[in-house]
Structure 1
């Protein structure tokens, strides 16, 4: 089992989860984080640390968010590691309550 970052992270990118990850499993894009399944040790420390409830065990990802399992795996291959907490994106508070924001995901 691994953990997956889902849609709630888009345009928020809080990094509280990064700070508690003992395996340095997070990868950073412009407006989203992902978890590298090959690095994740399934400790679950990131789940309660996420202020937007964007992180799930892969077996618990809601049906409408299942596409994020493959997306995390794909993007983790190319995105750089992030190991230190940073400020969330400037409009994080505004985006935190937005449910459908997949079209806002920025990735090359």
Structure 2
């Protein structure tokens, strides 16, 4: 099992999770983070650190976010690792909790 970043991260991109990851499995896009399933060791540390509550165990991903499992795997192959915390996007707090953000994802 691995962990999955879901749509609530889009337009927020808080990186608190990156700070606690012991294996640097996060990958960074312009307005979204993903977890590389081949690198994730299922430690759970990132879940509690995510202010957007956007990270779930693969088996616990909400039904309406199941597409994010494959999305994380696909995007992780082309995005670079992020290993240090950065500031969130400028209007992250305004976007946190909004739904249906997949169309806003910048690949």
TM-score (structure 1 length as normaliser): 0.98
Q: How does 1:1-108 map to 2 (within 5 A)?
A: 1-107=1-107
Q: 1 CA distance for matches of 2:34 and 2:97?
A: 19
Alignment gaps of 5+ in structure 1: none
Q: Give CA deviations for 1:68-96 in whole Å, capped at 9, x if unaligned.
A: 00000000000000000000000101100
What is the RMSD computed on CA atoms of the aligned residues? 0.5
1:99, CA displacement in angstroms? 1.3
**Which shifted more, 27-36 or 90-99?**
90-99
The SS at the match of 1:71 is helix
1:97, CA displacement in angstroms? 2.3
Q: 1 CA distance for matches of 2:97 and 2:25?
A: 26
After superposing on structure 2, the runs of 4+ consecutive aligned residues of structure 1 that deviate more than 3 Å are none
Aligned length: 107
Q: 2 CA distance for matches of 1:53 and 1:59?
A: 16
